[in-house]
Amino acid sequence: MNKLVGIYLRISDDREGRELGVQRQEEDCRKLVARKGDTVVAVYKDNDISASTRSKKVRKDYNRLIADAKAGFVQEIVAYTSGRLTRRPMEHEGQIELAEHYGVTFDYVASPSFDLNTAAGRMIARVLAARDAAEAEEISERVRREKEQAREVGEWTGGARPFGYEGAQYDEDGVITNKRRVGRALVPREAKMIKDAVQRVIAGESLLSICEDWTARGLPTPREAPAWYPSTLRSILKRGRNAGLVEDPDGRIRDGVTGTWRSIITVDEWQAVCKILNDPSRRTYHGTRTLKWLGSNLYVCGLCGSLMRSSGRTSQGPVGVRLATYRCKRSSHCQARAQGTDDAVLAVARALLRKYGGDLLKAPVDDSTIELRNEANALRVRLEELEDMYGDGEISRAGLIRQKAKLDTRLGSIEARLSQHAEDAVLYSVVHAPDPAAVFDVQPISRKRAIVDTLMTVTIEKGRKGRLPAGVKFDGSRITIVPREGLSAA
């Protein structure tokens, strides 16, 4: 009797998405069906998904196969082995139900076949199910131990290709040709993108702005996604591996272990970008998706101290022209024309850049941070020791809070100094140019905002009642610009 056959294919580890394993399974399964004279009506495929009791991924095609078998669309299920079909005892019971109530039969290329309509056949199936489940659990435990050992010596633990690093490359026989470079050697273009994004975030640019720029330029995305998204970029930038650090599964950095792969950024840059991305109070632009105005969420209201934003309700200029304004986020009690305000601020920024140049950098370029990093690590160890002492009852809660406050203050000071070395990067390319002001003028709006924020504080005061004198288009006296301590635009 010619049966309607559904072929099920599965491979549990296909990180590169090549599907070579399932292709070979399909070829062998089709040969088996052809020898029996049956007809293949559908192929069901779950690639890169485990069938063990430890797996949490949903096998969509397996569930579709079972539903089709119950509907009579499939009369026999063929797989390479019984373990390819499932390693879960509960799912084996579901297959027994298919045989008893729906007449579905099973056949395998490399496993013994048995009749699930008989007690002997069901016993064999249950024994194999228990064996397959135990084997899957043993493999899982062994893999976990191997990964732990790899982390202890700074080796890559495998998994999906980290963006910025090489993935596996195969020859025509499916053999990896760059095994020693997988996860270790850099992909130059991607590594350059990561370093660029880190510098732009430190400079004050938003993740959304970077993603829109990269998507518009058609730059490569992880796993060939259609566009760059802030959540994806955030995850990539916060990876410790970018700085050669080894991370545990819970995301914690492993002390005293350095990765065997090449780093893309320095530890200081990584700490600085993580500090920015983890700060819930950091300034975020909430206006239109493309930042257009210099002072949005940067300038300060002189009446209440709130930030100013570019207003959707613009003031009227000459007939037919609408001029954007800055308006206090808290109230409408203070507003100013955006163009005139920005012109005044940019003029001061140019003057400061021309006057001070490289002296604007807070930290010497060649200043070593090794001692600071060592002290920071020592303080973190001390904080952990205090928590252990409190847990063991060696110190009181009041003692813990008192000592922790002292250490947190010192650690915060050191981390701020470490971050400064990376934050100064926003000024490097500008202040060392022959004409810093000219280089500043061609920077994107996000970089200009970061430089302005570094150099000065801008406050907008309440305007005078009545019209401006004849010939005066903008009242610059309302704009109070205070350069950073130690600087003067005069």
User: Cβ distance 214 to 228 under 8 Å?
Assistant: yes
pLDDT level of residue 290 (50, 70, 90 thresholds): low
Mean pLDDT of 22-47: 90
Q: For residue 466, is pLDDT > 70? A: no
Q: Are residues 174 and 136 in the same domain?
A: no
Note whether 161 and 261 are same-domain residues. Answer: yes
pLDDT (0 to 100) of residue 5: 94
Of 424, 456, 419, the residue nearest 358 (C-alpha): 424
Q: What is the structure's pLDDT at 300?
A: 93
Percent of the chain scoring above 90 in pLDDT: 22
Cα–Cα distance for residue pair 56/53, rounded to 1 Å: 8
> DSSP E strands: which ranges in 272-422?
300-301, 308-310, 315-316, 322-323, 325-328, 335-337
pLDDT per residue as tens digits for the range 295-311: 888 899 999 988 888 87
Tokens of 167: 């993935």
76, 38 in Cβ contact below 8 A?
A: yes
SS3 letters across 458-480: EEECCCCCCCCCCCCCCCHHHEE
Inter-residue contact 430 to 440 (CB < 8 Å) = yes
- Does position 366 have pLDDT exceeding 50, yes or no? no
Top pLDDT among 56 and 276 is at 276
Mapped onto helix, strand or coil, the DSSP state of residue 424 is coil
CA distances from 158 to 50, 316, 323 (A): 16, 61, 55
Say yes or no to pLDDT of 373 above 70. no
In the chain, how many H helices and how many E strands?
15, 14
Does 42 share its domain with 163? no
Query: What is the three-class DSSP state of 300?
Result: strand
CA dist., res. 327 & res. 315, Å (int): 10
Q: Does 287 fall in a domain?
A: no
Residue that the structure tokens 């209440």 belong to:
304
Give me the chain's average pLDDT, please: 80
Q: Which helix (H) or strand (E) holds 79?
A: strand 76-79
Residue 275 within a domain:
yes
Handedness of CA 165, 171, 174, 179 (dihedral sign): negative
CA distance 442 to 429: 12
In a domain, 290, yes or no: no
Beta carbons within 10 angstroms of residue 161's beta carbon: 19
Question: How many structural domains are present in the chain?
Answer: 4
What's the DSSP call for residue 3? P
**Spatial distance between the Cα atoms of 192 and 353, rounded to a whole number of angstroms:** 28
| Same domain membership, residue 418 and residue 470 | no
105: pLDDT strictly greater than 70: yes
pLDDT at 287 over 80: no
pLDDT of the residue at 16: 39
Cβ distance 301 to 328 under 8 Å?
yes
284 and 294 Cβ atoms separated by less than 8 Å: no
Q: Residues 396, 462: one domain?
A: no
Per-residue pLDDT at 429: 63
Which residue among 148, 179, 210 closes a domain? Answer: 148
Domain presence at residue 288:
no
Residues 479 and 398 in one domain: no
Integer CA distances (angstroms), 52 to 56, 159, 427, in order: 9, 18, 54
In this prediction, residues 11-37 reach a mean pLDDT of 74
pLDDT at res. 321: 57
Higher pLDDT, 81 or 132: 81
24/97 same-domain check: yes
Q: What values do phi and psi take at 153, rounded to 5?
A: -110, 10
Asked if the structure places residue 489 within a domain, the reply is no
Domain boundary pick from 148, 178, 208: 148
Please name which of 121, 130, 261 lies closest in space to residue 183, comparing C-alpha atoms.
261
In a domain, 66, yes or no: yes
Residue predicted with more confidence, 125 or 308? 308
| Number of Cβ within a 10 Å radius of residue 470 | 5
DSSP 32: H
Res. 13 pLDDT band, cuts 50 70 90: low
**β-strands 456-460, 76-79 pairing:** unpaired
Question: Is residue 331 a part of any domain in this protein?
Answer: yes
Stronger pLDDT, 319 or 378, i.e. the higher one = 378
Whether residues 117 and 66 share a domain: the answer is yes
- CATH code of residue 60: 3.40.50.1390
Give whichever of 52-61, 127-136, 268-277, 369-378 has the largest mean pLDDT.
Answer: 268-277
Residue 285 in this model has a pLDDT that exceeds 50: no
Minimum mean pLDDT range among 155-164, 188-197, 227-236:
155-164
Q: Measured between alpha carbons, how far is 477 from 490 in angstroms, rounded to an integer?
A: 16
Neighbours of 480 (CB within 10 A): 12
Q: Helix or strand or coil: residue 290? A: coil
Domain enclosing residue 396, as ranges: 370-423
Are 400 and 448 found together in one domain? no
User: What is the helix (H) or strand (E) element at residue 277, kind and residue range?
Assistant: helix 267-277
Higher pLDDT, 386 or 245: 245
For the cut 60, the answer to whether the pLDDT of residue 158 exceeds it is: yes
Do 211 and 143 share a domain, yes or no?
A: no
Q: What is the mean pLDDT of residues 462-489?
A: 79
pLDDT for the residue numbered 420: 60
Q: Write the pLDDT tens digit of every residue in 164-205.
A: 999 888 887 778 888 888 888 999 999 999 998 988 887 667
